[in-house]
Every structure is written in structure tokens, then in C-alpha cells.
Amino acid sequence: MSPSLFLGKDKIKVEKRVVITGMGAITPIGNNVEELWNSIENKKCGIGEFTLVDGSKFKTKFAAEVKNYEPTDYFEAKQAKRFDRSSQLAIIAAREAFKDSGISKENTDFNKFGTYYSSGIAGLTTIQEQCGVYFEKGNTRVSPLFIPMGIANMPAGNVAIDLGLKGESISILSACASSTHAIGEAYRAIKHGYEDVILAGGTEAPICEMGVAGFENMKALTHATELDRASIPFDKERSGFVIAEGAGAIVLEELEHALNRGAKIYGEIVGYGSSTDAYHITSPDPEGTGGARAMERAIEDAHIKPEQINYINAHGTSTHLNDSTETKAIKIAFGDNASKVAVSSTKGNTGHLLGAAGVAEAIICTKAIQNSLVPPTINYKVQDEECDLDIVPNEARKQDINYAMSNSLGFGGHNASIIIKKYK
């Protein structure tokens, strides 16, 4: 299949195909991609009681933390201290994706290898710690590394430094849509010839006192007291999301570049759409038109019809407004096909990874395509008439998937959708 062409004012420009050739993850349900997918297949829930903060201080009982994680297993002790936890997780996922891709300086020009790595909050733990130092010990005791550890572009910067990637290095901050935007913009950059390869992804490490208090006081976190009722997307008894940490990365590559070096190909990015609600700082537009517009744009970009999409990994946060609004958005974008497409949320497994959610879910979509298996929405019990789609409750479904869509919706009204196709 040849690259498509589009007419510009003065010339014809080639649109290149963009494939996934590497994946990496560290999440509450697995510290690599294989563990992540096995946990999805086995309906594992990564949610539990707090260990990173004193949970007795909060009404919120649960979080989804990365398990069995020691920074010194991945970094020298001195090096680990120079990275905020968000950058540590970002580098770990990026290293896995990079190694998985088989890329080297012998087969790739690293000057055309970009880094699009995002976060919603990034260095929140460092910011909290150093503010404490300032108020307790004074300004002279604040770490000289406070700024480079705390600023939100540093996961991208640290990943690029760690791997020696010298193409564009960009951080897109759009709250919980951040890493889906990163993937989408990376896809566009390769599609239009600006880079040969981009490592795209996202990271988040928000489980500190300020992070939990901030989300809790805005009433975004669940008040559930039973573990299996904490993150329950589309369930009528949902009461908020479960705060989570983790990171994911995928290597996106121009198809001919990948073929020329004999790369294994996991899937193809074929569509990307983005929009803004322009409605409220935290609440989605209740009519769902903003989310629908992102999905419609992704479908148009992929040059397919809505009925060709077999699976949607929904944003599905387990908050009342998100799940009901996203249901409306899917109905607008998919019309009569909305009731026929499989829609599930894997945040019952992972909790809400915030800025890293999109990339983790893109990886899950890619594995779902490979394994012809639709992930279930776990812990579902009580049907909600407002969320009446085919949400694949509790049990995975064997099904061929040619096209999967992944949705992300963020505070500020940011919406992003990508479409992943089975590579043929």
C-alpha cells in the first residue's frame, strides 16, 4: 500500500504510514508490558490501600501504586535522587520500549528520533518536598535541583538524555489527555515527514499528600470503602476515580524505515482527533459534543466509517459526569453503531493514571488487537441507564479487532482520540 497524497497550495505532499514498533510500561498491574497485559487478561485489580502516604489523614481509602518498585533496581543511588519519581517511571518505560523496538545507531539516525513525552502534573512530589524544606529550614536549604526536578517537561528531557534522542523533544500538558495528545502529535509529525521515529508516552507520580488532598477536596476521588467498589466505570454506584501512578511509552516509526531495518510491527496508528469543550475547568460539557468531535475527527483522519471500529477503550474514569458524558459523546460520534461497538474501561484494573492513562490504554488496545481479545470493565454490578453501551462487563470477550479507538478527556476540556489498526 503506497503512502497517500494530499494537495497543498504549491505542491503534493506525501502522507507516510506510522507503525508501532516498541512498547514499554510500568503500572499498578505490571512493571512491564507483558505483566500489564497478563493482568488485563486475568482481570487483576491494582488498587489497594495507600503506602506512599499516610492514608489515615484522608477520607479516600485507596490508590493504585506501582508494586515492588525500588529506584535503585533501575538507577544508581545518586542518579535516582536527581529524578522526580515521575521521571524515574518515564525512563523505565522508555527504556523498555526502546529495547523492544530493536532500534540502534546503526539502523536509525538519532537526529531524526524525537521524544514526545507528557505528564499531567509531573514533579508534584518534588514540589511538595521542597516547599516543606523552604518553610521549615529557609530558602538557602531549597535544593538547586528543585526546578529541573519539578518542571513538567523534564520527563521528556530526561528520557531524551537517557537514550540519546536528538530529534524534537516536546511535552504536551493537557491533564488526563496528555499522553494521547503526545501519541497523536507524534503520529502527525512522522506522517508529514518531520521525524523518522518518535518515542511517545506519558508518566505520572501524583500520590503524595498534596496530590491526594487536592483531588479529594475537589470531590474527584472515590469515597468507596470496599476495594472492589472503588474504581467502577459505568456502574451506577460510581463515586469518583482512584488516583494512580505509572508510565508508558511506545515507539512510533515511519513504515518504510521500520521495514528497511526489519522491525517487528505491533500495529498502525491511522487516526487522531482532538478538540476542546470550552465549557468548564474540571467538568466536561454535559452534552458530550466536545468528546464526540475528537472521535469524529479521528475517524475522518483514518478515512474509515464509525462501524469499522470494533473496540473503544473509553476514558471511563468512574466519575458520574465523565462516564455519562462519554456515553453521550460515543452515541453522537457513532450514531446507530454506538450500541454495537464494544466499549470498556480498564481503569477498574489500573486506577486513573492521569497524564499516563492514554499511553497505557493505547498499549492495552494494541495488545487487544494482537490477541483478538476485548478487555472487560471489571467490578461492574449495578446498571446505569445513563451508561447503556456494550461495556463488556466483568468478562473479556474473544473477538477479532481490526480497528480500536482510545479516548482521553482532561480537565480544562481537553479531548483526544486515536485509532489503532491491525497491521497488514
**Helix, strand, or coil (residue 333):** helix
Phi first, then psi: what are they for 400, rounded to 5°? -65, 135
Does 414 participate in catalysis according to the annotation? no
Q: Which candidate in 181, 257, 352, 414 is catalytic?
A: 352
Instruction: Identify the helix (H) or strand (E) that includes residue 130.
Output: helix 124-137
Instruction: Give the burial class of 106: count Cβ atoms within 10 A of its Cβ; 0-12 exposed, 13-18 middle, 19 or more buried.
Output: exposed
Does 352 participate in catalysis according to the annotation? yes
The Cα–Cα gap between 376 and 233 comes to: 11
The Cα–Cα gap between 118 and 153 comes to: 7
Q: Which candidate in 45, 176, 208, 365 is catalytic?
A: 176
The three-state (H, E, C) secondary structure of the chain, written as one string: CCCEEEECCCCEEEECCEEEEEEEEEECCECCHHHHHHHHHCCCCCCEECCCCCHHHCCCCEEECCCCCCHHHCCCHHHHHCCCHHHHHHHHHHHHHHHHHCCCCCCCCHHHEEEEEECCCCCHHHHHHHHHHHHHHCHHHCCCCHHHHHCCCHHHHHHHHHHCCCCCEECCCCHHHHHHHHHHHHHHHHHCCCCCEEEEEEEECCCCHHHHHHHHHCCCECCCCCHHHCCCCCCCCCCCECEECEEEEEEEEEHHHHHHCCCCCCEEEEEEEEEECCCCCCCCCCCCHHHHHHHHHHHHHHCCCHHHCCEEECCCCCCHHHHHHHHHHHHHHHHHHHHCCEEECCHHHHCECHHHHHHHHHHHHHHHHHHCEECCECCCCCCCCCCCCECCECCCEECCCCEEEEEEEECCCEEEEEEEECCC
Q: Which candidate in 45, 208, 257, 315 is catalytic?
A: 315
Instruction: Tell me which residues are annotated as active site.
Output: 176, 315, 352
